[in-house]
Structure 1
Amino acid sequence: MSDMITADLVDLDLSADTKEAAARALAERMASQGRVTDLEGFLADVAAREAQMPTGLDGGIGIPHCRSAHVTEPTLAFGRSAAGIDFGAPDGPADLVFLIAAPAGADDAHLTILSSLARQLMNAEFTSALRAVGDLETAAGLIRGDEVPSGEGRQDAAASTGGETGGGATGTASAASTGSTASATAGAGADGGTQGTSSTSQGAGSVFADTAAAPVAASAGAAAGSTAPPAGASAPAPAAPESAGSGAGSGADSAERPFRIVAVTSCPTGIAHTYMAAESLENAGREAGVELAVETQGSAGFTRLDPAVIAAADGVIFAHDVPVRDKDRFAGKPTVDVGVKAGINRPTDLIREVRDKAARGETSAPAAVSGGTPVERAGDSTEGYGTKLRKWLMSGVSYMVPFVAAGGLLIALGFAIGGWEVNKAPSVMDHFVWTQTGSWGALLFQIGGVAFKFLVPVLAGYIAYGMADRPGLVPGFVGGAIALDINAGFLGGLAAGLIAGGVVMGIQKVRIPAALRGIMPVVVIPLISAAIVGFLMFVVIGKPIATAQKGLTDWLNGLTGANAILLGALLGLMMCFDLGGPINKVAYTFATAGIAVSDPGDSAMKIMAAVMAAGMVPPLAMALATTVRGKLFTRTERENGKAAWVLGASFISEGAIPFAAADPLRVIPSSMVGGALTGALSMAFGATLRAPHGGVFVIPLIGNPFLYLVAIAAGVCATTALVVLLKGMRKQAPETTTANPAADAATTPKETKQPVAA
């Protein structure tokens, strides 16, 4: 970590009063060292990561972090705040702030080093030393590991305190090496008697000790002359010792085998929270007297736990905010499934929960283990069915959209190059002339057509994947292909995906012998589920869905006049309501489903045009508003406004999110008004669009392009006027004074009033 942080990247008197200001102050230090090339772009990436989940941790720690294309090398900056800064932690503001910046293509070695900081933050001695340090170089040295906090790393001290002072392998190693624990270390065998329990948790490939020896922490307590009652209190003993599992390391039948837990931790970025949760769980495991092995699925990749370790485990803890990879390895065991921050903040509770489940015999079926959506974790028992259904559908849509974009643009380019008769061209396998533009147009058109054939199967397959993980893929794809074959279309794909996921989840609830579990996801589940889904789609529900799909198509093709204009306005409202969120995606998916055929109707292409036009309005309007009335916006918003020109022109509605997040009550309604106007005008003008994406870059492919641009301009002007009016009318808040005069000088009066708008 020596090249990641220097004294120039440390601020022991951080005067920022918001997390945004803190990130900016630390990022400016990175930029001054040439480690960040685009300050505003990097801060936007930090804000986007922060929007996924607050980065405040219990214990007064804030750890904003991201991977960004604007970072030249892995970098860490540290700030200490006397007043504290709110990073969303349950226990209050953070006084220790670490900003971690990783390049978009950071190598595994550097990401591994970054993860070591996350583990250090779980060590109270480390954080105490940072709070007490008085000079920049010493603070940087502590973080790099050059300076050792008082009491850390001394094995004699670790042994005298039960091996818990180090918070890592060092403490447990010294504890395990004391004389009174010789039998335990001798029995550990595979661990070499050097790291005890810690070696199983930090080395993903290591195995549990094949003995019935007491846990290392408990043994260390015995070495220090204690009876270690906390371990016994939090870890009730089984009804009877398991002599069969004791192994040869201990001949006493009364010896109790430790409770064994395997855990997986992961977070969206895979840099900080992943490893902090692992360290927290490991520490809690030692205190509770259990053997705990953690698999950290971070950005630097992951090493799978040894199957023998998983097989020997008595329970499983998932602390994750992204999908657990190869989750079916942990099927059939008592399981606690929570977010990654729960692994950091309440590891003792999680260990107790999994032990209680094991004591009650709640061995979860494979469906319960794989029941969360792989795209967005759905393990929270408080989520309603409607929330889970939305996640399942968005899983399918998110995988389908790239096929839509690639196939649609290829088809549109094929028409542009080869003319409107290109759809009647013979196969390029039979006729292709290198010097004829018509042949190239036909080639692009036919490639796009092949890509479009995957839309419905991919939609169905990944809806099922969202419900039941990998076992849902086969019946989902089969059902989607059948829906395409019987002309059930988009509606058939939705139904096939939900049916496939439900069938697999039902099969997984059936208890089977352990010997057969290995072939279930590979042979049994795909065979039975594909047969059931195929039967239902061909014989039972396929024809009614196909009829409904034809009726919907006929209704769209029959829309004229006022009905078409109202539909355009509605789609415009939906596109601008959540700017890339679920409602936006529903409208976009509705439009792309209409053109996802080789010969879409005129009405379907009008709907696609209206949706894309409305989606361009919010970012373009925010860009225009920051240009004509910049004083109403903060400096950061004015910088974001420059990027919003390009994002809006490219049909990326998310370009308006920073403005909506800062002032939702003014920006979102204004955007919806402009989007509805644009959608209605686009439909009224009869503009058509065959490409599902592209913004102004596919204007040559649009029918009635001039009037189409007029519709977009009208919506942009309406939104701009409304947002400027609303922001100008807002009640002015009294000026506030920050503790940093330089920050005050660089901040416009409107910046200090921004929280009022929110």
Structure 2
Amino acid sequence: MRFVAVTSCPTGIAHTYMAAEALEQAGRSAGHEVVVETQGAAGAAPVDPAVIAAADGAIFAADLEVRDKGRFAGLPLLQVSVKKAVADAPGVLAAAVATVESSGSAGPAGSAAGSVAQAPAGSVAGSVAGSGAAPGARAGAGARVGTRVRQWLMTGVSYMIPFVAAGGIMIALSYLIGGFRISEVRAEDLIDAFDPLSARDWAGVLFVVGSASFGFLVPVLAGFIGFAVADRPGIAPGFVGGAVAVTVGAGFLGGLVAGFLGGFTALGLARLRVPTAVRGVMPVVVIPLIATSVTAGALLVVLGRPLKALMDALTAGLNSLTGSGIVVLGIVLGAMMAADLGGPINKVAYTFATTGLATVATASGDAVELRVMAACMAAGMTPPLGMALATFARRSRFSEAERENGKAAVLLGAFFITEGAIPFAATAPLRTIPAVVLGSGLTGGLVMAFGNTLRAPHGGVVVFGLVGHWPLYLLAILVGTAVTAAAAVALKGRPPVDPAVGPASAAAAGSTGG
């Protein structure tokens, strides 16, 4: 059979390309033709329409909304998480074959809408909605409510991460070059009297630009949640609602509310039956005007105050943590970073850290939020480093392919790319996941106990110069790495004869946000 597939993950880098390669390899092994379109951080190269027209079925291995879904209209569809495609591409392909067969179609022309086949747990089987589907039909129509909400949320997070990474690293570098008083520099000062020979002025430029980048964090999150829910009509109310959330002090929670409120308001308006004469101006005038007014107005006069109170309470509770309380927080966040190796649980912990970082990045001192960021990055580095150490320490326990993946995992772990441990989890999840969760949880707790801080949201070893008490930070990572390796070796059975290890090309993929 011939299949077209689309892969995408929240960060748009590691899982996206690993899933694509896994599906292509599974197709070759099973005698099927699989053409994959990767919708990643670098954009997408759309599949040739002729290939889609000749396909028997479609596979969406996506944690985000598939762009231009209407191109696949009429094809029997299997929808799974991107992690499922990485871990069990042959199983996903077999389920896609079953979907096509149950539809009674040998091609797109005869596909039956709504056909359902036996598919992997958590997957969605059916047929792709026509190109004329209403906005929001792209949001995983037919999927479980929880799956759709997660996709909408992860879409916002995926677009937010580049702003966090760029802004956070620039602010951190500005402090490194110009000291903590660099926060006193104003844009007007640089415009009026910038000295290209002054290191302090260059640090000021980094600080001002980084702060501007951070200022977009909540609006971008809200805007692209709105986009995921309602397509383009949801962007304006989401962005403006997010900006108002920042203005009233509702922060990250306000952004979430603004994104969903703006998206669903725009979606409801888009589905109204209106006269033909009005239909042309609905998406460019009527929907943005009404949806933006409703969303921003609600945030400003109704929801802003209680959301701000909740954010203040959460911040106060976080800052009040001391001693064992903050160590437990580090253990929990560390375990979450390793629980699904770059998946939704990992992103929840990482987003918690980065949004907290955004609130204190321009302030001096030793805020708890800076310790949270340090714990999350260290815990995200530990899984690939620990699995790599295990393959070096007990080579006989691992296959040749696993040892090769171990070499790649060293580089991935050093640069805070948690997905470097996925090839090991794909073949033996019940042995790998407990080992990496144990090591990362320990690392997160140690970082909190040592009082390490970090102002950069990403970078791994590249940003060690920005870490508070970096020798202890390195010690925490080394201890977690050793514990992960010891646990992995202890849990490891005999090496498989022909292991189906995930694509080793993860080394060339990279990731953002762990």
Unaligned runs of 5+ in 2: 1-14, 80-95, 116-128, 502-514
Aligned partner of residue 541 in structure 1, secondary structure = helix
Taking the TM superposition and a 5 Å limit, the aligned residue runs for 1:271-282 are 271=47, 275-280=50-55
Tell me the residue number matched to 2:363: 599
Structure 1 residues 338 and 576, CA gap change in structure 2 (3 angstroms): same
Q: Secondary structure at the match of 2:192?
A: coil
Deviations 1:396-428 (A, max 9, x none): 000000100000000000001111111112332
Letter aligned with residue 599 of structure 1: A
The CA distance in 1 between the partners of 2:36 and 2:112, in whole Å, is: 30
**Cα distance in 2 between the residues matched to 1:645 and 1:57:** 29
Aligned partners of 1:57 and 1:426: how far apart in 2?
58
Question: In structure 2, what is the Cα distance between the partners aligned to 1:67 and 1:395?
Answer: 18
Q: Which residue of 2 aligns with 1:426?
A: 186
Within the candidate set 314, 320, 324, 1:558 is matched to 320
The code of the aligned residue for 2:108 comes to P
CA apart distance, 1:513:
2.4
Instruction: Report the Cα offset of residue 337 of structure 1.
Output: 8.8
Aligned pairs for 1:463-612 (under 5 A) are 463-597=225-359, 598-599=362-363, 602-612=367-377
| Among candidates 148, 156, 160, match of residue 388 of structure 1 | 148
- The aligned amino acid for 1:674 is G
For residues 83-106 of structure 1, the C-alpha deviation after alignment (integer angstroms, 9 at most, x for no partner) is xxxxxxxxxxxxxxxxxxxxx99x
Q: 1:695 to 1:396 in 2, by over 3 A?
A: same
Are 2:75 and 2:108, in contact at CA under 8 Å, matched by a contact in 1?
no
1:642 matches 2:403: no
Matching of residue 417 in structure 1 with residue 200 in structure 2: no
8 Å CA contact 2:377–2:416 kept in 1: the answer is yes
Distance 1:392 1:372 in 2: 12
Distance 1:46 1:591 in 2: 26
Aligned partner of residue 689 in structure 1, secondary structure: coil
Residue deviations 1:50-78 (CA, integer Å, cap 9, x gap):
546885499x732356699xxxxxxxxxx
Matched ranges for 1:612-651 at <5 A: 612-651=377-416
Give the Cα separation in 1 of the matches to 2:274 and 2:17. Answer: 47
Please say if 1:669 is aligned against 2:429: no
Structure 1 counterpart of 2:157: 397
Which residue, out of 31, 35, 38, partners 1:61?
Answer: 31
* Secondary structure at 1:369 match in 2: coil
What is the rounded CA distance, in whole Å, between the counterparts of 1:514 and 1:327 in structure 2? 25
Aligned 8 A contact 2:175 2:182 in 1: yes
1:723 equivalent to 2:488? Answer: yes
- In the TM superposition, 1:37-436 aligns within 5 A as 48-51=19-22, 56=27, 61-63=31-33, 270-271=46-47, 275-280=50-55, 338-339=77-78, 347-350=108-111, 369-372=134-137, 378-379=140-141, 381=142, 383-427=143-187, 428-436=190-198
Larger helix fraction of residues: 2
Alpha-carbon distance between aligned partners in 1 of 2:177 and 2:286, rounded to the nearest angstrom: 49
Displacement of 1:430 after TM fit? Answer: 3.1
- In 1, Cα distance between equivalents of 2:266 and 2:349: 29
How far, CA to CA, are the matches of 2:407 and 2:176 in structure 1?
31
Q: What per-residue deviation string (whole Å, max 9, x for no partner) do you get for residues 276-319 of structure 1?
A: 441257xxxxxxxxxxxxxxxxxxxxxxxxxxxxxxxxxxx999
Q: For 1:315-357, what per-residue CA distance to the aligned partner results, in whole angstroms no more than 9, with x for missing partners?
A: xx99967766567999xxx999945966875635536779xxx
8 Å contact 1:367–1:508 — kept in the other structure? no
What TM-score, normalized to structure 2? Answer: 0.78
- Structure 2 letter corresponding to 1:705: W
Alpha carbons of 1:398 and 1:552: their partners in 2 closer, same or farther (altered >3 Å)? same
Q: Find the aligned partners of 2:55 and 2:169 in 1 and give their Cα distance.
A: 48
Contact 1:670–1:719 at 8 Å: present in 2 too? yes
Q: How far, CA to CA, are the matches of 2:452 and 2:310 in structure 1? A: 27
Answer whether contact 2:74 2:113 (CA < 8 A) is retained.
no
Distance 2:298 2:132 in 1: 22
CA change 1:690–1:319 in 2 (3 A) is closer
What's the CA shift string for 1:619-657, capped at 9, x where partnerless? 001111111112211211111111111110100001111
SS at match of 1:447: helix
Q: In the TM superposition, what whole-angstrom CA distance separates every residue of 1:496-537 from its partner, at most 9, and x where no partner exists?
A: 001111111211221112332221111111011001111111
Amino acid at match of 1:573: A
1:430-449 equivalence runs, <5 A: 430-449=192-211
- What secondary structure, in the 3-state scheme, does the structure 2 residue paired with 1:378 have? coil
- SS of 2:186's partner is coil
Letter of the 2:322 partner, please give it. T
Secondary structure of 1:688 counterpart = coil
CA distance in 2, matches of 1:65, 1:425: 52
Going from structure 1 to structure 2, the CA distance change for 1:636 and 1:48 (only over 3 Å counts) comes to: farther
In the other structure, the counterpart of 2:88 is: none
Alpha-carbon offset, residue 549 of structure 1: 0.9
Tell me: CA distance 1:475–1:642, structure 2 relative to 1, closer, same or farther (3 Å).
same
Contact 2:233 2:267 in 1 (8 A): no
For the aligned residue pairs, the C-alpha RMSD in angstroms reads 3.5
Q: 1:345 to 1:721 in 2, by over 3 A?
A: farther
Q: Is the Cα contact below 8 Å between 1:366 and 1:508 reproduced in 2?
A: no
1:433-488 Cα shifts (integer Å, max 9, x gaps):
22111111111011100000100000000011111111100000000000011111
Q: Does the aligned pair in 2 maintain the 1:611–1:679 contact within 8 Å?
A: yes
Give the distance between the partners of 2:24 and 2:130, measured in 1 at CA: 30
Distance change >3 Å, CA 324–CA 617, structure 1 → 2? closer
Partners of 2:275 and 2:209 lie apart in 1 by: 47
For the pair shown, which has the larger CA radius of gyration, 1 or 2?
A: 1
Deviation string, structure 1 residues 177-209 (Cα, Å, up to 9, x no partner)? xxxxxxxxxxxxxxxxxxxxxxxxxxxxxxxxx
Structure 2 match to 1:712? 477
Counterpart Cα distance in 1 of 2:108 and 2:69: 21
Deviations 1:259-281 (Å, cap 9, x if unpaired)?
xxxxxxxxx87558x64441257
Question: Could you report, residue by residue, the CA deviation over 1:589-645 in whole angstroms, capped at 9, with x for unpaired residues?
Answer: 000000113327610000000000000000001111111112211211111111111
Query: Where in structure 1 are there 5+ consecutive unaligned residues?
Result: 1-43, 69-103, 106-267, 282-316, 355-363, 733-749
Corresponding residue of 1:752: 497
2:175 is matched by which residue type in structure 1? F
Secondary structure at the aligned position of 1:371 is classed as: coil
* Aligned partner of residue 596 in structure 1, secondary structure: helix
- Tell me, in whole angstroms, the C-alpha distance in 2 between the residues paired with 1:385 and 1:46: 27
Q: Which residue of 2 aligns with 1:695?
A: 460
d(CA) in 1 for partners of 2:76, 2:301: 38
**C-alpha distance in 1, partners of 2:273/2:75?**
19
8 Å CA contact 2:76, 2:113 repeated in 1 = no
